[in-house]
Amino acid sequence: MHRGKGMKFVGDSRVPGMEFRKPNIPKDYSEYPGKTEAFWPNFLLKEWMIGSVFLIGYLLLTVAHPSPLEGQADPTDTAYIPLPDWYFLFLYQLLKYEFASGPFNVVGAIIVPGLAFGALMLAPFLDRGPERRPSKRPLPTGFMILGIVSIIFLTWESVANHDWEAAEAQGKITQEVEIDTTDPGYEVYSAAACISCHGDNLEGAVGPSLVGTGLSPEEIAEIAVNGIEKDGALVMPAAWDGTDEDLKLLTEFISGLEAE
């Protein structure tokens, strides 16, 4: 090298050229036309777009159908029927069938879900071929379709056969109200044994709450004297056998109870 003349390079044939590709260097995307794409931004942008669509969908569903709030849990209430969230309704429905309930509860609670999720975990090992078309991978595709159809069917059955009105009534939040135990109507209420079904503070026990019913005294008297049926089933039997004067005191007392 001479000063001011620049630098000169001499080639050596012993140095491997670019035509000798090292095995640890991945091939360029251009060598796989139509089969690969760059992770950034192509692939990642698609993932973000799909995730955004599902996230917005869940947010809209949450706003349109907010989770209902129920009253405080009462471990002494043996009549309460719990209901799981929507994503566990298919397992809840499974436990209603004879082969998976009662003495066979372990079948519906452990064995069937264990086999289903175990098959899902083994799906990648059932067919390890490079083919991506579902029609070319019958075993994993069949198991996946069977699982999706089963979950949809059991969830639908659970929703269709559940008594949603009763579920809403049993978990309804009832506001407390101060009861005037010196009121003549309350004395009639206690003496008529109504307290055993509707509670000391009329908050409901075996029977529903009598606070804030929105019924007139005449409507309450009709129910007390003749009972009430709903969908062909007797909800409350005819229970009144007292005088008309006491009935008037009772119905006016109950009709005047409003939640705070």
> Is the same domain home to 134 and 207?
no
Q: Which of 172, 206, 231 is the last residue of a domain?
A: 172
Q: What CATH number corresponds to the domain at position 233?
A: 1.10.760.10
> Is the same domain home to 89 and 168?
yes
> Is the same domain home to 229 and 158?
no
pLDDT digit string, tens, across residues 151-169 = 999 999 998 888 877 777 7
Q: What average pLDDT does the segment 20-42 reach?
A: 68
The answer to whether residue 91 sits within a structural domain is: yes
Q: Which of 172, 196, 224 is the last residue of a domain?
A: 172
pLDDT-derived band of residue 54, with 50, 70 and 90 as boundaries? Answer: very high
Number of structural domains in the chain: 3
* Residue 228: DSSP 8-state: E
What are the C-alpha distances in Å from 142 to residues 117, 132, 149, 152, 161? 15, 14, 11, 15, 28
> Is the same domain home to 200 and 115?
no
Please report the pLDDT score of residue 154 as a whole number.
92
Residue recorded with tokens 């955004």: 52
> Is the same domain home to 87 and 162?
yes
Task: Look over the chain and give the mean of its residue pLDDT values, rounded to a whole number.
Answer: 78
Q: What average pLDDT does the segment 201-213 reach?
A: 73
> Is the same domain home to 196 and 130?
no
pLDDT-derived band of residue 8, with 50, 70 and 90 as boundaries? Answer: low
The answer to whether residue 17 sits within a structural domain is: no
Residue 24 has pLDDT above 70, yes or no: no
> Is the same domain home to 142 and 192?
no
Residue 92 has pLDDT above 80, yes or no: yes
> Is the same domain home to 61 and 107?
no
Query: Is the bond leading into 113 cis (omega within 30 degrees of zero)?
Result: no
Q: Measuring CA to CA, which residue among 204, 217, 195, 205 is closest to residue 259? A: 204
> Is the same domain home to 102 and 167?
yes
Residue 76 has pLDDT above 80, yes or no: no
The answer to whether residue 74 sits within a structural domain is: no
* Residue 41: DSSP 8-state: I
The H-or-E segment that residue 52 falls in is helix 44-64
Q: What CATH number corresponds to the domain at position 101?
A: 1.10.287.980
Residue 5 has pLDDT above 70, yes or no: no
Q: Which of 132, 152, 172 is the last residue of a domain?
A: 172
Rounded Cα gap, residues 87 and 225, in angstroms: 45
The answer to whether residue 26 sits within a structural domain is: no
Residue recorded with tokens 């251009």: 30
Please report the pLDDT score of residue 101 as a whole number.
82
- Parent domain of 203: 184-255
The answer to whether residue 232 sits within a structural domain is: yes
The helix/strand/coil state of 45 is helix
What are the C-alpha distances in Å from 12 to residues 8, 9, 15, 17, 72? 13, 10, 6, 10, 85
> Is the same domain home to 83 and 154?
yes
> Is the same domain home to 145 and 102?
yes
Residue 60 has pLDDT above 80, yes or no: yes
The answer to whether residue 129 sits within a structural domain is: yes
Rounded Cα gap, residues 36 and 141, in angstroms: 23
> Is the same domain home to 127 and 202?
no
Please report the pLDDT score of residue 13 as a whole number.
54
The answer to whether residue 21 sits within a structural domain is: no
Q: Is the pTM of this model over 0.75?
A: no
The answer to whether residue 177 sits within a structural domain is: no
